[in-house]
Amino acid sequence: MSKLYLSAPLPFVGQKRMFAKEFIKVLQQFPDGTTFVDLFGGSGLLSHITKHFKPHSKVVYNDFDNYRRRIDNIPRTNHLIADIRKMVGDSVPRHKIIRDPLREMIFDRIEEELGCGFVDFITLSSSLMFSMKYKTNIDGLRKEALYNNIRKNDYPACEDYLSGLEITSCDYKELVRKYEDCPGVVFLVDPPYLSTDVSTYNMYWGMADYLDVIKVLEGHSFVYFTSNKSSILELCEWMGRNPGLGNPFKGAELRVFNQHMNYSSSYTDMMLFKKNAV
């Protein structure tokens, strides 16, 4: 049996490592040989755990965010972080800010690596920023202060992490259409959470998208993840109590006003109005 990972080998926003042990218990309710479809595969952790404990099951991992490319480039990422580690040395205390000219030297090294084809900015962010704060490109990273949180050791190679999985990269709705009539299929459903930062995902995600996902659950076995910040359960309970409401904004006119809080933060105020016939 291959090695079991209880957390993703590289940083990923929203990986389910805290749920790993409880998820394993849930898997025991389904027989080996069941088809599992991980609609929002993310770091692949749920798919990996499923395949480990259900080796005779078909496990479909939707790698929409191309996590496998990051896995394939671990040696390259290790080399880049090692170079930055040498550049910083003992000149900056642990967890303290990195200032020019050293900061600009680090960006020069990152630019050099970009010229060779690939930089794993999410993994790099975890060494140059604080926990759970990630950027996906060099422009975003340049807007942030850099800190000496540089990983002290290489990330281990993990060639077996995604072994045995059927890997695809597509809109989750395509997978639903493909497998919704498969007898006994189990959908693993871990969409980006409502009211949380989804900037590291390769997709736009809005309220309608969350509600579309809910439709997938009807009539199928599933394991669904959400958080109390999304209020999605409360919303569904309310909709269940008011099934005949429909869309109260149908026919209303919309006006918008963009509010800018600072250089990197803004939001849109909305006004809707509708005059009913007397």
Indicate if 30 and 84 belong to the same structural domain. no
Q: Please tell me whether residues 63 and 73 are part of one structural domain.
A: no
Q: Final residue of a domain: which of 117, 147, 177? A: 147
Written in H, E and C, the secondary structure of the chain is: CCCCCCCCCCCCCCCCHHHHHHHHHHHCCCCCCCCEEECCCCCCHHHHHHHHHCCCCCEEEECCCCHHHHHHCHHHHHHHHHHHHHHHCCCCCCCCEECCCHHHHHHHHHHHHHHCCCCCHHHHHHHHCCCCCCCCCHHHHHCCCEECCCCCCCCCCCCCCCCCCEEECCCHHHHHHHHCCCCCCEEEECCCCCCCCCCCCCCCCCHHHHHHHHHHHCCCEEEECCCCCCCHHHHHHHHHHCCCCCCCCCCCEEEEEEEEEECCEEEEEEEEECCCCC
Asked whether residue 58 is domain-assigned, the answer is yes
Q: Is residue 273 part of a domain?
A: no
Same domain, 92 and 226: no
pLDDT bin (cut points 50, 70, 90) of residue 147 is: very high
172 and 116 in a common domain: no
Report the pLDDT averaged over residues 139-152: 95
Overall number of domains in the chain: 2
249 found inside a domain:
no
Q: Are residues 82 and 64 in the same domain?
A: no
Res. 267: pLDDT tops 70: no
What's the pLDDT at 278?
46
Task: Report the pLDDT value the prediction gives residue 17, as an integer from 0 to 100.
Answer: 80
- Residue 129, pLDDT score: 93
Q: Is the pLDDT of residue 82 over 70?
A: yes
Give a yes or no: residue 9 inside a domain.
no
Which of these three, 125, 147, 169, is where a domain ends? Answer: 147
pLDDT (average), residues 187-205 = 64
Q: What is the pLDDT of residue 31?
A: 92
In the chain, % of residues over pLDDT 70:
82
In a domain, 257, yes or no: no
| Helices 45-53 & 20-27 angle (0-180, nearest 10) | 40
Confidence (pLDDT) at 16? 78
pLDDT for res 230 = 62
Question: Within this chain, do residues 117 and 171 fall inside the same structural domain, yes or no?
Answer: no
Q: Are residues 217 and 86 in the same domain?
A: no
- The range of the structural domain enclosing residue 138 comes to 69-147
2 inside domain: no
Residues 181, 136 share a domain: no
Domain boundary residue, one of 104, 127, 147: 147
Q: What is the pLDDT of residues 208-238, one digit of tens each?
A: 777 888 888 888 888 888 766 666 677 777 7
Q: What is the mean pLDDT of residues 75-94?
A: 96
Same domain, yes or no: 203 and 213: yes
According to the model, what pLDDT value does residue 137 have?
93
Q: In the structure, what pLDDT confidence band is assigned to residue 172 with cuts at 50, 70 and 90?
A: very high
Instruction: Judge whether 250 lies within some domain.
Output: no
For residues 19-29, give the mean pLDDT. 89
Residues 57 and 76 in one domain: no
- Pair (61, 163) in one structural domain: yes
Among the listed residues 53, 51, 69, the one whose alpha carbon sits nearest the alpha carbon of residue 163: 51
Nearest residue to 184 via CA among 26, 34, 33: 34
In a domain, residue 212? The reply is yes
pLDDT digits (tens, 9 = 90+) for 233-259: 777 777 788 777 776 667 766 666 676
Question: Does 14 or 229 have the greater pLDDT score?
Answer: 14
